[in-house]
Structure 1
Amino acid sequence: MLPKVQKPDTRKMITLEVLGRTTLSPHFVSVTLGGPELAHLEPSGFDQGVRLFFPREGQPGLRMPTLSSEAWLAEFMLLPKTRRPWVRNLTIRRFRPERDEIDIEFAVHGDSPMSRWVRRVRPGDPAGIFDIGRTYLPAAHARWQLLVADESALPATLSILEQAPETLTAQVFLEVPEAADIRADLAAPPGVRVHWLARTDPHQRPGVLALDTVRAAELPPGPCYAWVAGESKLATGLRRHLVNDRGLAKPDIGFVGYWRHGRSSPG
């Protein structure tokens, strides 16, 4: 089953440039992108996602698709790899339209194409985005919310909490690679309880700790909206648990498998 997505009314391919890069913790880096074409981005907030296009190593510039529709993928795949950029799905962490800037936070790990780009990127380097909408769509009847994420979905969850109303009541479980990645300065509404879960085994598959912790947790009663994102088995496994063991209705669960452990993204 595919996740429910609220897509933008209008969108177009947007070319930007890197304005800055900030290391946040051992496994997280924030990159600021900007440019006048951000005037074409329709902000939807919360976990608003974009396809991020960035050059492969050795490419002199960025070759963006020209089609601002779902046909972009066919155009993209027809390009030879010598001219085709990398593309990955990321979340807009912050949007400053008055300055034509957005921040995107990256979970950096291993030797993936995205991690290599984040490590070498410099101000003035090209990048591009294409809006894909948001999946955080709380049910109006929910009395409280359950938010669960591994490191790949941490930026999206932080964005959700940063924009949440002060009346939000929620249990939040955030899994990160190590204790040094915990954001001690996280601000959340008073009714939100955040559980940080730092892995102690570097070989443990991401998402297992969060899945096991929520399965064993004592959660509040009453109608709930759950949003789960991260490694594919975390998203599908927790959805199965919430439906079969907790009695949540399927429409009250938003779940997104951002990636699959051991499998690289196409592109």
Structure 2
Amino acid sequence: MTASSTSTAYESASGLVHGKFRFFPVRVVATRRLGPSMVRITFAGDALREFAGGGRDQSFSLFLPQPGQHAPIVPFDAGDGWFAQWRAMPEDERAVMRSYTVRSQNRRYHEVDVDFVLHGTGSSSSGPAGPASRWAAEAVPGDRAVLLGPASEDNRSIGFQPPEGTDWVLLAADETALPAAAAILEWLPEGLRARAWIEVPDLKDTQELLSPAEADITWLIRDPLRRPGSLLAEEIGGAVFPDGAPYAWIAGESGMVRTLRRHLVGERGIDRGRVEFSGYWRLGATEEDLRTEKITEAVAQDAGEAR
């Protein structure tokens, strides 16, 4: 297959749909450093006219090429069996897969912004550089990737779902969840009270965040000698909360997420149904480690139900 025919096949693969989700071949059109620990990459492509991100903490799977590859190798034609087929490929050939959230979407120009934390490539102390961090640090316009994301705004990959009767919102995020927290703040309705605590590795990683809500944002600069998330747990643990019914969203390092969830539910008495939590990463573990654990747990659960 020639390079031109490969490119044509790559671009036409966008029409393959898996439920409410679809593969979207894209290319890098711009990169911008946001601070020592983060870079914003703008992806574009005609396929993104069908991308239907619902805002907030909209997540998706990102496929990146292996070193030396022109484009990521993804089983576009495998239907609902794409994941099994992807896992069956040789590890050094199949695309690198990572989970990210959408920072913003420009529907007019068919673009999606994604903010990458540069683990191990800058001043971030959140862990060694992985393949996605290395790719993002070196990305240039023209580089290819594939998004597996929503073709419907009503999709299960949005966690932030405040129930009716919410009087105020609590956001707790480290740098990995900063893009989602920023998108949530932009989505909140005018007049709603919001308290946000965001922990980042470096003072220069702070950003100007906008919101129509009455948002009070506290930036916390991590001590590199302490565990990521420690400041978040301490600051929120000692904070005075507004009156009324809260809705809490916690995302970032798994240990921090567990600690804060226990605090909010066990010590603050917030109903479990009003606390949305997500471990975006775990100290000392790669995404492959976490994915393998989830697969093992799912297999064990299926085996138990079959007995």
Specify if TM > 0.5.
Answer: yes
1:67 to partner: Cα distance: 5.5
* Residue pairs, 1:167-178, within 5 angstroms: 167-178=191-202
Residue type matched to 2:163 in 1?
Answer: A
What number of residue pairs does the alignment pair up? 258
Q: Secondary structure at the match of 1:12?
A: strand
Superimposed CA distance per residue, residues 177-229 of structure 1 (whole angstroms, 9 cap, x where no aligned partner): 0111111x322335210011111x21322111111211111111221100000
Please give the alpha-carbon distance, in whole angstroms, between the structure 2 residues aligned to 1:187 and 1:145. 15
Superimposed CA distance per residue, residues 132-172 of structure 1 (whole angstroms, 9 cap, x where no aligned partner): 62101111111111010001000000011112211220110
1:118 aligns with 2:128: no
CA contact (8 A) 1:11 1:40 kept: no
Instruction: Give the structure 2 partner of residue 160 of structure 1.
Output: 184
Instruction: Give the structure 2 partner of residue 42 of structure 1.
Output: 52
1:40 to partner: Cα distance: 2.4
Q: Secondary structure at the match of 2:280?
A: strand
More helix by share: 2
CA contact (8 A) 1:16 1:128 kept: yes
Distance 1:178 1:68, change over 3 A: farther
**Which of residues 234, 238, 241 in structure 1 aligns to 2:263?**
241
Please give the alpha-carbon distance, in whole angstroms, between the structure 2 residues aligned to 1:162 and 1:68. 37
Aligned-pair RMSD on alpha carbons?
Answer: 1.7
Please give the alpha-carbon distance, in whole angstroms, between the structure 2 residues aligned to 1:65 and 1:167. 46
TM-score by length of 2: 0.80
Please give the alpha-carbon distance, in whole angstroms, between the structure 1 residues aligned to 2:36 and 2:249. 26
Unaligned runs of 5+ in 2: 1-17, 121-128, 150-155, 292-307
Unaligned runs of 5+ in 1: 1-7
Please give the alpha-carbon distance, in whole angstroms, between the structure 2 residues aligned to 1:146 and 1:230. 14
Larger RCO of the pair (alpha carbons < 8 Å, separation 6+) = 1
**Larger gyration radius, structure 1 or structure 2:** 2
Residue type matched to 2:246 in 1?
Answer: C
Instruction: Give the structure 2 partner of residue 191 of structure 1.
Output: 214
Please give the alpha-carbon distance, in whole angstroms, between the structure 2 residues aligned to 1:68 and 1:230. 32
Please give the alpha-carbon distance, in whole angstroms, between the structure 2 residues aligned to 1:222 and 1:158. 23
Instruction: Give the structure 1 partner of residue 147 of structure 2.
Output: 129
Q: Secondary structure at the match of 2:56?
A: coil
Residue type matched to 1:95 in 2?
Answer: Q
Please give the alpha-carbon distance, in whole angstroms, between the structure 1 residues aligned to 2:21 and 2:137. 29
Instruction: Give the structure 2 partner of residue 76 of structure 1.
Output: 86
Q: Secondary structure at the match of 1:73?
A: helix
Please give the alpha-carbon distance, in whole angstroms, between the structure 1 residues aligned to 2:48 and 2:32. 21
1:91 aligns with 2:101: yes
Distance 1:190 1:162, change over 3 A: closer
Superimposed CA distance per residue, residues 108-147 of structure 1 (whole angstroms, 9 cap, x where no aligned partner): 1212211100111111111111126210111111111101
**Which of residues 103, 110, 116 in structure 2 aligns to 1:106?**
116
CA contact (8 A) 2:78 2:85 kept: no
Question: Which 4+ runs in 1 deviate beyond 3 A?
Answer: 67-71
1:257 to partner: Cα distance: 0.4
CA contact (8 A) 2:250 2:276 kept: yes
Identity of aligned residues (%): 36
Please give the alpha-carbon distance, in whole angstroms, between the structure 2 residues aligned to 1:222 and 1:246. 13
Distance 1:136 1:190, change over 3 A: closer
TM-score by length of 1: 0.92
Please give the alpha-carbon distance, in whole angstroms, between the structure 1 residues aligned to 2:218 and 2:193. 14
Instruction: Give the structure 2 partner of residue 181 of structure 1.
Output: 205
